[in-house]
A = this chain, B = another copy of it.
Amino acid sequence: MKATIKDVAKLAGVSFKTVSRVINNEGTVGQELQERVWKAVKQLNYRPNLSARGLRGAASSIGFIYDNPNSNYVIDMQRGILDECRAQGYELVIHPCDATNRTIIQEVLEMIDRSRVGGLVLTPPISENPDILAAIAERNVKFVRVLSGAKAPDDLSPCVYIDDRNAAYAITEHLIGLGHKDIAFLGGDEEHQSSGERLAGYKAALEDHKIKYSAKRVIPGSYSFESGVERTRQLLNTKGSNPTAIFACNDEIAAGTLFAARIAGVDVPAELSIAGFEDSPFSRQAWPNLTTAAQPTSTIAQRAASLLIKSLRNGKKVESEGFYPELIIRESSTKARH
């Protein structure tokens, strides 16, 4: 016969309210009593029926749809969303996709049907695609967008906006402050607004410091290590005209820049300063450590999930929130040689 909470209480010699407090980790029960309860739980092989808490019927999971090749970003996003799910009693369905796929809208709708999620957290470029957003809204599924910008673009749904432009301005200004006048910019994928925002910050800082902008020094590409290697190789191959600093649009690109500089025998930072964007584990673990902008991805994700769950629960309008990445100065950037 299956053990009940009363059996556990009897064996442990405590009230069943105490057993419940211990099992639910309420932290109001002394250590010795906790031990007694857990011993009884184990001895009786007791399994509380947590699913009877009343979630049946209502959606008890949310979804995270993304198109991003950057593992660190994805794992940090997941971590933040999962933290909030755990705190609020939700499960998480993850769905990576190719936002350029022509069946993307059907795919998102099918994901909603299969997984029965109550709502979605969306990141760029999905969160910046009006067709996908319209299709989800039409299905009456709530969503929260993470996006690049200095404010919420509209009232369609709550969002968490990240001020990439000002952070990129701060990085560029830091390099200028070190005496760099020839700073190359390695962009990210164009369908991500962050790439354009960061470029805008770079340009604004050059302008404010009266440094001539050169279109040749802005090299488009994608947010990947390989793209960083490739573009840095090109830059360093042009004899006698190396930039003294490279601002890579994220840390993955910067890792590629560091790698290509090593291969080319260019000393970082003595001959070439490098800055990334993201504060990834690589930026902290590489030698030299990378100057970067700390984008608190997990916290951003946790806030997005929190806004989503709030709007699922009370149905009222939920306010958007903003984040401002912070300049982190490390060893990869130093004074320009003259």
Which A residues are closer than 8 A to B by beta carbons? Answer: 23, 25, 38, 47-48, 50-51, 55, 60-61, 71-72, 74-75, 78, 82, 89-96, 102-103, 105-106, 109-111, 113-116, 135, 225, 255, 258-259, 262, 281-282, 285-287
Which of B47, B72, B115, B281 contacts A105 (CB under 8 A)?
A: B47
Contact yes or no, B287 A262, CB < 8 A: yes
User: Of residues A90, A102, A116, which shows the largest number of chain B Cβ atoms within 10 Å of its Cβ?
Assistant: A102
Contacts of A135 in B (CB 8 A): 47
* Bound Cα distance from A285 to B72, whole angstroms: 14
Contacts of A225 in B (CB 8 A): 281, 285
Contact yes or no, A285 B282, CB < 8 A: yes
**Shortest distance between the CB of A87 and any CB in chain B (Å):** 13
* Bound Cα distance from A74 to B38, whole angstroms: 31
Contacts of A94 in B (CB 8 A): 78, 82, 92-94
Which of B38, B78, B282 contacts A102 (CB under 8 A)?
A: B38
* Bound Cα distance from A25 to B114, whole angstroms: 20
Q: Look across to chain B and name the residue whose beta carbon is closest to the beta carbon of A71.
A: B75
**Shortest distance between the CB of A117 and any CB in chain B (Å):** 9
| Given A94-B94, A259-B285: 8 more A-B contacts, CB < 8 Å | A50-B106, A71-B71, A74-B75, A89-B114, A90-B114, A91-B114, A92-B94, A282-B285
Which of B51, B109, B286 contacts A114 (CB under 8 A)?
A: B51
* Bound Cα distance from A245 to B87, whole angstroms: 45
Contact yes or no, A55 B114, CB < 8 A: yes
Which of B74, B91, B287 contacts A115 (CB under 8 A)?
A: B91
* Bound Cα distance from A96 to B256, whole angstroms: 31
Contact yes or no, A91 B111, CB < 8 A: yes
**Shortest distance between the CB of A190 and any CB in chain B (Å):** 22
Contact yes or no, B109 A50, CB < 8 A: yes
* Bound Cα distance from A19 to B150, whole angstroms: 43
Contacts of A92 in B (CB 8 A): 93-95
Contacts of A103 in B (CB 8 A): 23, 25
Contact yes or no, A91 B90, CB < 8 A: no
* Bound Cα distance from A112 to B298, whole angstroms: 25
* Bound Cα distance from A226 to B114, whole angstroms: 41
Contacts of A50 in B (CB 8 A): 106, 109-110, 113
